[in-house]
């Protein structure tokens, strides 16, 4: 739906006013959330909430596809969907484990968690489809895998394997409900469920890491770790990430629209 040139204009502005400031706030010494001790190992707020909320703003600016909710618009190729999901899962090991910045025990924990949380997310989506009265589907399984990957990102080395499994499964079920029920009620056309999966599961992961970090569920926190204090920090970081991405993306899309227009013609 979007003009390529306009997307490039948006990207330059978005990187500058949305992504870079959020990455600094969360990951850099001196950043407000870094100093507060916010947990985001590989990008729950910085990447997934940022991208999910920005995608939602973008689809609202663009408007719906021709024929949306009026005719069937199935994926072009489920084989390609499966291939893409597999490539994502393999690649995800790279930046989750790689965020340890070395081949060490932290990287090993992140790698294990990225495996089990994602598997739990895939299975949970299939079960949710069955419980909802549908057949379990390949598209659903792939969607659950992505939800699991997204949810474990901030908790990759901030959870034990059991906590990772729970986080992946819970995020997947909530994303399933959003995608299959709430999205139609809201009526926006988020074509690939960027907000419904990346945004929603990113929010669940960024908040849930406060719980998975606790030692009682196998997390790496010490004996005097306080869930309540960490949870308040995670909620603040998550809320700011949502607002920052929404406002910044609206500015970036607005500028791109003013300069070049956003949407291709109906004929195109």
Q: Which residue has the tokens 């490039």?
A: 8
**Which of 1-15, 64-78, 207-221 comes out lowest in average pLDDT?**
64-78
The share of the chain scoring above pLDDT 90, in percent, equals 92
CB burial of 42-64 (b: ≥16 within 10 Å; e: otherwise) equals bbbbbbbbbbbbbbbbbbbbbee
Cβ burial 140-177 (10 Å sphere, 16+ → b, else e)? bbbbbbbbbbbbbbbbbbbbbeebbbbbbbbbbbbbbe
Q: How far is the C-alpha of 17 from the C-alpha of 79, rounded, in Å?
A: 37
Query: pLDDT by residue (tens digit) across 36-72?
Result: 999 999 999 999 999 999 999 999 999 999 888 888 8
Q: Please, what's the b/e burial string for 184-194 (b: 16 or more CB within 10 A of its CB; e: otherwise)?
A: eeeeeebeebb
Assessment of whether the complete model's pTM goes beyond 0.75: yes
* pLDDT tens-digit series, residues 110-156: 999 999 999 999 999 999 999 999 999 999 999 999 999 999 999 99
């Amino acid at each position: 739906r979007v003009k390529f040139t306009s997307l490039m204009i948006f990207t330059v502005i978005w990187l500058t006013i949305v992504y870079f400031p959020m990455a600094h706030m969360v990951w850099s010494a001196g950043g407000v959330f870094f100093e507060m001790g916010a947990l985001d190992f590989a990008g729950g707020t910085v990447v997934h909430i940022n991208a999910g909320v920005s995608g939602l703003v973008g689809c609202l600016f663009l408007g719906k596809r021709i024929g949306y909710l009026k005719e069937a618009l199935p994926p072009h190729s489920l084989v390609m969907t499966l291939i893409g999901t597999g490539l994502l899962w393999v690649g995800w090991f790279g930046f989750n484990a790689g965020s340890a910045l070395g081949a060490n025990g932290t990287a090993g924990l992140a790698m294990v968690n990225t495996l089990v949380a994602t598997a739990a997310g895939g299975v949970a989506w299939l079960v949710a489809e069955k419980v909802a009265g549908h057949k379990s589907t390949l598209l659903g399984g792939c969607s659950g895998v992505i939800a699991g990957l997204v949810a474990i990102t901030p908790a990759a080395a901030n959870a034990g394997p059991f906590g990772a499994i729970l986080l992946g499964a819970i995020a997947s079920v909530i994303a399933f409900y959003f995608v299959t029920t709430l999205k139609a009620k809201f009526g926006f056309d988020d074509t690939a469920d960027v907000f419904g999966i990346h945004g929603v599961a990113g929010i669940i992961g960024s908040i849930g890491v406060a719980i998975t970090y606790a030692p009682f569920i196998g997390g790496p926190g010490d004996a005097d770790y306080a869930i309540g204090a960490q949870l308040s920090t995670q909620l603040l970081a998550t809320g700011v990430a949502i607002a920052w991405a929404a406002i910044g993306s609206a500015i970036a899309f607005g500028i791109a629209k003013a300069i070049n227009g956003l949407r291709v013609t109906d004929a195109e």
